[in-house]
């Protein structure tokens, strides 16, 4: 949401504050990525927490991937993210990174359980940064795939499925706020994370390969992120209070095939466009549920 707001406040307002979502089509990348991540998380839990053998753990994870993917049919240009290819990628992962020999191992809590997944919801600045309507502290919530140890350092770990891995693939994570936020959250729980590991699995039509990026998150990175987040949210609150959200009118309007709000954004009256061409769904990141908002009945 912060990223969308920084890109274009008007877009963030429609997409996240008013909850308008385009046409109902499920994103293939998101659907495939979610099913793959669920499979891996289940396999890790089976191995590290339930002490099941590695083969059995991966088999359990594979089954979860299969069920989560369901009967979804990707469009032809996304055939590389079909169920068949995802299952092959899972088997590839198992061979490339067997748990027993993986240098990335989950960090264990004091009770001995592994930190396969870190879910959190923390006030950003409890006394100062308050919701403009409710007066409640604004909450930062997220979910990291794993808190891990690697080369002696505590790390935020994330798996990413992708369609390509170039030589500069790893550069995109160096400044990525998502991982700085996870680091901030881990530190709030007294887990002194200092680095981020991102493992990319490229699922192509004819081959599968992988890459791993390691980047640091030192205390000054976290302080910078927190300060910037407060500035961005303060600006968002000002937009809300002034009932005006700035427009980008530049690259964001045309990126990735064009902003989905171009038509309402060009209209004198955007509401009819929004009500006719979009549906409203509220994603609750704490409950991890999505609820559709039905349109108000019209009085003739």
Binding site for ligand SF4 (CB under 6 A): 8, 10-11, 247-249, 252-253, 259, 261-262, 265
* Distance of closest approach, residue 11 Cβ to ligand SF4, in angstroms: 4
Residues 6+ apart with CB under 8 A from 216: 194, 195, 196
Nearest to 18 by CA among 292, 297, 291, 282: 282
Q: 160 near 33, Cβ under 8 Å?
A: yes
User: In this complex, which beta carbon is closest to ligand SF4, that of residue 140 or of residue 278?
Assistant: 278
Closest CB to ligand SF4 among residues 241, 256: 256
Q: Which is nearer to ligand SF4, 73 or 267 (CB)?
A: 267
Choose between 9 and 200: whose C-beta lies nearer to ligand SF4.
Answer: 9
- Rounded to an integer, what distance in angstroms lies between the CA atom of residue 91 and that of residue 29? 19
CB of 246 to ligand SF4, least distance (A): 8
Residue 55 CA: distances (Å) to CA of 1, 109, 144, 179: 39, 25, 25, 31
Instruction: Dump strand ranges (E) for the chain.
Output: 20-22, 105-106, 118-123, 139-144, 146-150, 153-162, 195-203, 208-216, 278-284, 289-293
Runs of H (alpha helix) within 25-132:
28-44, 54-69, 83-96
Least Å from the CB of residue 6 to ligand SF4: 12
Q: How far apart are CA 243 and CA 159, in angstroms?
A: 39
In the complex, the smallest distance separating the C-beta of residue 267 from ligand SF4, rounded to whole angstroms, is 11
Please say which residue, 98 or 258, places its beta carbon nearer to ligand SF4: 258
| Helical pair 28-44 and 54-69, crossing angle rounded to 10 deg | 150
Q: Pick between residue 115 and residue 274 the one whose CB is nearest to ligand SF4.
A: 274
Partners of 58 in the β-ladder? none
Q: Is the dihedral of CA 283, 25, 181, 33 positive or negative?
A: positive
Q: Which is nearer to ligand SF4, 10 or 195 (CB)?
A: 10
In whole angstroms, how close is the CB of 133 to ligand SF4 at the nearest point? 23
**Least distance from C-beta 262 to ligand SF4, angstroms?**
5
Q: With contact defined as beta carbons under 8 Å apart, do 214 and 205 qualify?
A: no
Residue closer to ligand SF4 by CB (options 103, 272) is 272
Cα torsion through 228, 233, 235, 237, rounded to 10 = -170
Cβ 7 to ligand SF4 shortest distance, Å? 7
State the minimum distance, in angstroms, from the CB of residue 261 to ligand SF4.
4
């Amino acid at each position: 949401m912060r990223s969308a707001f920084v890109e274009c406040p008007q877009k963030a307002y429609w997409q996240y504050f008013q909850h308008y979502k385009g046409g109902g089509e499920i994103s293939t990348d998101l659907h495939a990525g979610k099913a793959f991540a669920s499979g891996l998380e289940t396999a890790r839990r089976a191995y590290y927490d339930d002490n099941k053998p590695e083969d059995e753990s991966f088999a359990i994870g594979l089954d979860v991937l299969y069920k989560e993917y369901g009967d979804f049919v990707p469009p032809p240009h996304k055939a590389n993210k079909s169920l068949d290819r995802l299952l092959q990628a899972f088997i590839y992962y198992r061979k490339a990174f067997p748990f027993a020999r993986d240098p990335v191992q989950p960090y264990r809590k004091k009770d001995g359980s592994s930190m396969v997944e870190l879910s959190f919801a923390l006030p950003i600045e409890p006394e100062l940064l308050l919701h403009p309507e409710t007066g409640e502290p604004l909450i930062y919530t997220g979910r990291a795939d794993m808190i891990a140890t690697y080369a002696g350092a505590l790390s935020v770990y994330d798996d990413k499925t992708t369609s390509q891995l170039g030589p500069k693939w790893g550069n995109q994570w160096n400044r990525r706020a998502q991982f700085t936020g996870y680091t901030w959250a881990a530190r709030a729980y007294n887990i002194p994370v200092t680095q981020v590991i991102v493992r990319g699995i490229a699922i192509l039509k004819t081959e599968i390969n992988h890459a791993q990026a390691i980047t640091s998150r030192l205390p000054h990175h976290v302080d910078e992120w927190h300060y910037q987040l407060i500035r961005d949210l303060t600006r968002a609150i000002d937009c809300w209070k002034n009932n005006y959200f700035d427009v980008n009118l530049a690259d964001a309007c045309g990126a990735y095939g064009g902003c989905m709000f171009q038509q309402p954004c060009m209209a004198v009256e955007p509401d009819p466009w929004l009500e006719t061409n979009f549906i409203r769904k509220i994603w609750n990141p704490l409950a991890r549920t999505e609820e559709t908002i039905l349109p108000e009945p019209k009085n003739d």
